[in-house]
Amino acid sequence: MYKEFYQFREKPFSLTPDPEFLYRSKAHKRAFAYLEYGIQDPSGFVCITGDIGAGKTTLIRAFLNQLDDQVKIARLFNTKVSSRQLLEMVLQDLSLEFHGKSKTEMIDTLNNHLIETFTEGKRVVLIIDEAQNLSTDLLEEIRLLSNLETEKTKLLQIILVGQSELREHLQLPNLEQFRQRITVNYHIPPLEMEETAAYIRHRIKVASRGPSIEFPEPVLNIIHKYSMGIPRLINVICDALLLYGFVEDKREPDEKMIREVINDMIQEGTLRHPEKDIQKRQSRARAENAAQSEFKILKARIKVLEDKQILSEKALMGVIDHNRTLEKKGVDLISRIEEVHRREQALMARQEKLKIREAELIKREQEIRKLLIHVHNEKKSNPLKDEEEEYGTGQKSGERVNT
């Protein structure tokens, strides 16, 4: 509408994320470098966060435009999905068949494709935008996808891009394993005053087909104050200011124009007063700091409890080992007692036999005594018979001698 008025070939402050208009602030240069590092050394997750309108999407598009054909890209925008839908979108973006396949079969398809791509000397990168909307279960699924690897390198490099809430989400205790795999974690801060001025000049220069218009310093200061250095808000304010100048037929904006534009936008609800946002941010920062402090205290308590549990487990294992030793000694003692009992029973059996034998001997002795008494009594009652027997015996002996 106002392109001809300002001699623009296109609108300089469009909200569409156009890589051509990317202003590489100090923070954006760092984020860009981290993305390049993540591609060159795929050892873990790359996590890029920033406030709404910080320029994350524009940065990602500019990054993708400079990649060569050695890198295959799968990019996801919709993150409020199930784990199966996530896999389907990844396969679809890589032009792989997924219809009618189970989850396991889809993972096998992806793994085979990654191996084939790796053998060709290429890499596969998965970029997940709006990652702050990922549920804990989906983050765990993504962590499992990162396990697709060779002995020396990851087959799938994963880049997470999201708002500040993503950083808070990743601090949850049950995401410890995921958090440990993040090798690059960078938050894009708002632009500083000098960067806001340079950002505005850069976009006007890119869009102009003739001499560029200039925003006076007071105008730039007010824009920075009410945009708080957020690129999207800068675009909204600057676009409204250019439209206002077009309607009023004033090509060069001044302080009065920007204040009227700001007031209108605040009344319409398009813009909020920065002091309220600052208070809200400070309150949120205090809450985050308090939460982080509580988390650290909780983590320390958990560590103490874990240490106590380890000591208790060691003590318990000592008791178990001692009980096992006692149990073994008890078994040995029982075996010995049983052996002694068996010997005692054998001894008792022998004693019983001896008693029986003794009884038999006593009985025999008694019988012999009775016999001797009987013989003795017979001798007493008939002594002549004994003499005759002795005489007869002697006579017979003499006859044998004479003969």
Which one, of 151, 182, 154, lies nearest residue 169 by Cα?
A: 182
Angle at 329 between CA 326 and CA 330, to 5 degrees: 85
Output the 3-class SS for 83-147. Answer: HHHHHHHHHHHCCCCCCCCCHHHHHHHHHHHHHHHHHCCCEEEEEECCHHHCCHHHHHHHHHHCC
Query: Domains (ranges, CATH) in the chain?
Result: 1-8+191-272 (1.10.8.60), 26-189 (3.40.50.300)
396 falls in which pLDDT band (50, 70, 90)?
very low
Residue 386 confidence (pLDDT): 52
Q: Does residue 189 contact residue 226 with C-beta atoms inside 8 Å?
A: no
- Is pTM, for the whole model, over 0.75? no
Collapse the DSSP code of 16 into the 3-class scheme (helix H, G, I; strand E, B; otherwise coil) and give the result.
coil
Which of 118-122, 123-127, 193-197, 326-330 holds the top average pLDDT?
Answer: 193-197
Query: pLDDT per residue over 168-219, tens digit each?
Result: 889 888 888 899 899 889 999 999 999 999 999 999 999 998 788 899 999 9
Question: Which positions ≥6 away from 165 have C-beta within 8 Å?
Answer: 132
Percent of the chain surpassing pLDDT 70: 91
pLDDT score at 385: 54
Give the CB-side neighbour count of residue 65, counting CA atoms within 13 A: 11
What lies within 8 Å, CB to CB, of 245 at 6+ separation is 2, 5, 6, 251, 252, 253, 257
Average pLDDT over the chain reads 86
Q: What is the per-residue pLDDT for 2? A: 83
List of residues 6+ apart from 348 with CB closer than 8 A: none
Backbone angles phi, psi at 118, to 5 degrees: -65, -40
